Structure 1
């Protein structure tokens, strides 16, 4: 038995040393009573903010009825309502749903479904993607070397294709270059007839919040349709209102065969789902995949309450407005310092990229210490600061955060 006072694992990287006691809306409060403006949003998962009353009430009521209902043994009364609601809000053609607990699990589940549905064994992902930390999702990821270091050999059958450089001056030419790279992989490394799925994030997350160009995603979809490859969109980070639409793919003119959902789906409660077409799910061999917490009733209740909040009149319009407000303000701040190289994003999934990792880290540290604003680093080289506040953020809170950021830029220049 572990001794009292045994240490937590040291494997988790830490963005702060804060000891948080509770959260309210867009703010968190530490054990000393200090309030912090949380623009990390729990890695973007706290979609409705901390302790939203509708979500907490739904969780509490469900916990009083049943905490765990193992889906292989019996079903509960939150499953079908959630399936019905997801059928209403997911992209056209998506009508069948599988529930899990974590983003990694659901992406790997999507790949397993694709393999059964196509009877193929290989997967294409894209340079800089992050899909998870299980062995297979690590093989699919290439945003940072540290995530893979020491864990090899990783599973085979994953081919990483080029992704357009977001800094290229001619984006149309860059999209064409990346698509030619994909074609070359399918000509030299793996036959298209052996590829089960292409998996892509509509907004590349861990590499630094890079919106996927519409022309690139359309080009991938054409190749998938031409070769019977399934298109899987990983909306773990970009889904459930984060970009100002329920799903980022809505603005990109494509129709995924499988969509992966997690994080903001249940306001940060551990819950995840994939959506697909019934005809594909029917090829997923019954009994070949499952999990102990699949379709957890508290997770279903949290997801239903979250969707109810996101569908309130004007909610997503506010996300778009606050995203525009944030982007415009950050673009104006580029005039303060040439070291702030890039501002990009969609909705409230925004990135500011500096010239060095040291400068980005100094800005984040100053924001926390001097203004009690919480931000996080991202990107392959940690030069990017990501902005992912809860979607309930208001105009004055955006102004407060931008003012703190401006002060940090001046203080660290």
Structure 2
């Protein structure tokens, strides 16, 4: 019997020219001349320009073949160009490409919202479709303000919720905020985010005490607090996982204080952390949920979900919606999202993420035990972080950037995370093959053990 050759999507890396190759370098030169210098990161070994992708493979314009361990910012949980998603996109493209979301909606908008409400944690769920994660957060913040009448917000140190003005106000990173600080809403209190394996910074009880004080004192500008926004697992901060019981206690406190809990599940939702929503496994009981990334299957789509009792605080549309956008309910995005939900539910993606994530985490912890630059390897489902430190135990600033560049040269795409660029972050597809996983972990472990 002839053994079939592995297909593009399940292949091991093949580097034919040291990345970035000549075509990528030429494209980089062209891009630098026409794009704002703030947008794309350029360095000696960065970036490559993608030509095609499928499953866990990416091929660049110089014909180098890579394994994508980043999931393209966490989007490709079910792999790049999943056949169901591609079919849905092609079929919808032949029928209707654009609609009038809040005036004359496309059919797919109705179908998607019905489907989405079926997996939400409320029996009377409703949704607002949005385009980006930041926009979903904006809708969530507006919803909490309208529903509670209290504009103040509690957010967390290390939290990332987007870079539009409302979302940026609750994002904790001076790098993003500094140029716009005088334009940001001043009614945000930032609390420390406790971590399950690190009480050197703050314990859960200490954080809860600070939260209670914030509720009692109000926001820095004096506004009463009506919302707490939190990532169940902090993604961009470096896969920071809260201790058991913290999220449940946070939910209890918010309810007692008459505030709404907004779960930012843009990164963690739809199976990435081993459950449909990470809130479920961590005990968080949100009033509002934001989802995105995985949701659109590669197309720009996000959503803000809540119960009818909460969303009914918004006024009835009298012919002019007070929050809407041109591409709300775009039929192409809705069609791909329906296909994504088919895959997530029918192929039990959350369970696959839990099993594969546990396997990768265990193998990395074993292979990196004793590595001088590694302080911790942690994970939740298919979100894994490898924290790098210097000789004195402080964050190794830029260490994960160096690892990512070395990995790219050997055919692995991954991203640095953490405020100091000191956490190697892995968010691969659930369909990463055994051979791809074994190869990737071997290469990555070798790089981390040797790099100085």
Q: Note if 1:33 corresponds to 2:63.
A: yes
The unaligned stretches of length 5 or more in structure 2 are: 1-29, 390-395
CA distance in 1, matches of 2:199, 2:229: 26
> What's the counterpart of residue 55 of structure 1?
85
Q: Note if 1:68 corresponds to 2:98.
A: yes
**Normalised TM-score (structure 2):** 0.86
CA distance in 2, matches of 1:240, 1:268: 14
Listed as ranges, the matches of 1:333-412 within 5 Å are: 333-355=367-389, 356-369=396-409, 371-412=410-451
Q: How far off its partner does 1:391 sit? A: 2.5
CA distance in 2, matches of 1:209, 1:384: 8
Q: Note if 1:11 corresponds to 2:38.
A: yes
CA distance in 2, matches of 1:203, 1:176: 18
> What's the counterpart of residue 174 of structure 1?
203
Contact (CA 8 Å) 2:368, 2:449: kept in 1 or not?
A: no
Q: How far off its partner does 1:281 sit? A: 1.2
The unaligned stretches of length 5 or more in structure 1 are: none
Contact (CA 8 Å) 1:162, 1:178: kept in 2 or not?
A: yes
Listed as ranges, the matches of 1:142-161 within 5 Å are: 142=172, 144-153=173-182, 154-161=184-191
For residue 345 of structure 1, give the secondary structure of its aligned residue in structure 2: strand
User: What does the per-residue CA deviation read over 1:99-133, in whole Å, with 9 as the maximum and x for residues that have no partner?
Assistant: 01000011011111111111221111111100110
CA distance in 1, matches of 2:436, 2:370: 21
Q: How far off its partner does 1:334 sit? A: 2.4
Q: How far off its partner does 1:354 sit? A: 0.5
For residue 193 of structure 2, give the secondary structure of its aligned residue in structure 1: coil
Number of aligned pairs? 407
Q: How far off its partner does 1:166 sit? A: 4.9
For residue 150 of structure 1, give the secondary structure of its aligned residue in structure 2: helix
Q: How far off its partner does 1:167 sit? A: 4.8
CA distance in 2, matches of 1:314, 1:239: 14
> What's the counterpart of residue 18 of structure 2?
none
Q: Note if 1:121 corresponds to 2:138.
A: no
Q: How far off its partner does 1:206 sit? A: 1.3
**Normalised TM-score (structure 1):** 0.93
For residue 51 of structure 1, give the secondary structure of its aligned residue in structure 2: coil
Contact (CA 8 Å) 2:215, 2:224: kept in 1 or not?
A: no
Q: Note if 1:242 corresponds to 2:272.
A: yes
For residue 124 of structure 1, give the secondary structure of its aligned residue in structure 2: strand
CA distance in 2, matches of 1:377, 1:66: 39
CA distance in 2, matches of 1:167, 1:314: 29
Q: RMSD of the TM alignment (CA)?
A: 2.1
Match of 2:170 among 126, 132, 140: 140
User: What does the per-residue CA deviation read over 1:312-332, in whole Å, with 9 as the maximum and x for residues that have no partner?
Assistant: 244332221110111001101
Listed as ranges, the matches of 1:247-396 within 5 Å are: 247-285=277-315, 286=317, 287-355=321-389, 356-369=396-409, 371-396=410-435
Runs of 4+ residues over 6 Å off in structure 1: none
Contact (CA 8 Å) 1:49, 1:392: kept in 2 or not?
A: yes
